[in-house]
Structure 1
């Protein structure tokens, strides 16, 4: 409540001064989210939609969450499962869709594997930890399609995305699952996707268009300053529209994309574009179905005591 009061006072002061409201977003500026944020600020999509975006660099997701919970940030980026869990525990957080990008399980170009059961006895590298959403979906897919216990019939190495990426390139894994942008780089380097998370989700009857990542704001922002919340959503869509259609817009982002070759650069562009979610409201029935899969395999470590999707989790335009 105290943080909401501070934000309301900040907006009121800005209005009295004739200035635009400032939205402070805490994020790791070396991450892919900053490609969209840079596009928003460089093209004035924030000011055109009634606010000024201020980006603060943090070490990673946990640091961003601490800043958000402590009132040092008005916006962060996280997945909606985290938002739903927070709502179930009494925190009034709301999710504004940002990306549906998911990865794949990649194998070396020389691998003879054609399906997941072919990885029996192999070592799989996984970024994101034991409750990584892509890993859980692929486990469910392996069990559903083949009756194959992917976790029990392989060994897993969990590590930071750059470490999994480099070790996979060195050919030390039978397969590797990484965040989408590292996956794009792996594919550009010659690894091939054995099965994509999108393919697995479709086979499980899930909707692959369900966005996983989004901007997280306080519910008080939507109630007290709906124009600012709507402005953030519109600025995001404007940036996505530009990046989806204009190849030249990517040249300004290339220095921060860390692409080591033209193939990597093009793979990252394609991956970002593929991850742009449809406009409009999130399909809550589809999200609830995904939640059930995540709760079954990820358990309390991932979703706490969450059993059903809390009302109000998703922002409605």
Structure 2
């Protein structure tokens, strides 16, 4: 073997060894969740390996399955809301939260619906993605009580179901209003429905901050203590992906096949909704988050937030802020 060939082979072997030695971060996420768009960007552009780790994405059938994998040691990171992290920390579990998205849902009605405010839904049939403790539903209940003296739970008929089911039922005209997650709202809007009120609007009226990111990457606290470079790396890779998605239409064109859209209108609505949900860099306003926790404790009680009647220390992590 010539010296040149030997040198080239040594470089390849060395590069392969370096790559093989990168620690893996196993992310367990909903198989068709919107977080996959960001994770795809991270992997496609090597934002993970450039920061010293390899991201391994595991598709899960549901949020409960992801949490089981995480708590059982089969995954290093999941996506959940910080209220769940606060509940777990109050129960003695050492989980931490890196902000991912501030996108929230709201109430959608048919474009020709006579409803102009929540007050107009008295006696109406309302579909709700999730269950009676869905955070959007609780915030909207508090908003209706404050603004109209209206008990949404008592004065409407509720139909609880999975987000896709509520989406389809609403489009079929079988509901007078539908409360759904932001990406289904975007599709509903593109399909001829309109927002009656958003959770952002309701939160602002209740003195909460719509800038508080509800969803984030959840990791074990021991990873933060023992391998802070990995936490920094994940946060940096996430921000790099967000920056690209915020400014590049061509990157969205690349992602379009995995977005499962049926029209340009749906594609544009989802792109705009994701961009609107990108949280600003910097630390989370913990006072604002504490106000939300207090409201959730009042409305959902221990069934929702467990022992977390006050904000536990150490929930939020914002590397580089």
TM-score of Structure 1 vs Structure 2, range by shorter chain: over 0.9
Counterpart CA distance in 1 for 2:308 and 2:20 is 43
The equivalent residue for 1:265 is: 267
Q: Deviations over 1:60-79 (max 9, x none)?
A: 11001111111110001100
Say which SS state the counterpart of residue 154 (structure 2) adopts: coil
The equivalent residue for 2:128 is: 126
The 5 Å alignment of 1:86-165 reads 86-165=88-167
The equivalent residue for 1:7 is: none
Asked if residue 200 in structure 1 is aligned to residue 198 in structure 2, the reply is no
**277, 281, 289: which one aligns with 2:291:** 289
Say which SS state the counterpart of residue 251 (structure 1) adopts: helix
Counterpart CA distance in 1 for 2:91 and 2:255 is 38
Residue ranges of structure 2 left out of the alignment (5+ in a row): 1-16
Q: Do the aligned residues in 1 keep the contact of 2:28 with 2:70 (CA within 8 Å)?
A: yes
**246, 252, 264: which one aligns with 2:254:** 252
Counterpart CA distance in 2 for 1:307 and 1:51 is 36
Say which SS state the counterpart of residue 33 (structure 2) adopts: coil
The equivalent residue for 1:73 is: 75
Deviation for aligned residue 1:103: 1.1
State the aligned residue count: 304
The equivalent residue for 1:54 is: 56
The equivalent residue for 1:166 is: 168
Residue ranges of structure 1 left out of the alignment (5+ in a row): 1-14
Say which SS state the counterpart of residue 276 (structure 1) adopts: coil
Counterpart CA distance in 1 for 2:226 and 2:308 is 28
Deviation for aligned residue 1:316: 3.1
Counterpart CA distance in 1 for 2:214 and 2:232 is 19
Q: Deviations over 1:165-222 (max 9, x none)?
A: 0110011111001111111000000111011110111111110000000000011111
**307, 310, 316: which one aligns with 1:308:** 310
Say which SS state the counterpart of residue 202 (structure 1) adopts: helix
Shift in alpha-carbon separation, 1:148–1:17, aligned structure 2, 3 A: closer
Counterpart CA distance in 2 for 1:17 and 1:122 is 58
Counterpart CA distance in 2 for 1:271 and 1:316 is 23
Query: TM-score, with normalisation over the residues of structure 2?
Result: 0.93
- The structure with the largest alpha-carbon Rg is 2
Deviation for aligned residue 1:278: 1.0
Query: TM-score, with normalisation over the residues of structure 1?
Result: 0.94
Q: Do the aligned residues in 1 keep the contact of 2:99 with 2:318 (CA within 8 Å)?
A: no
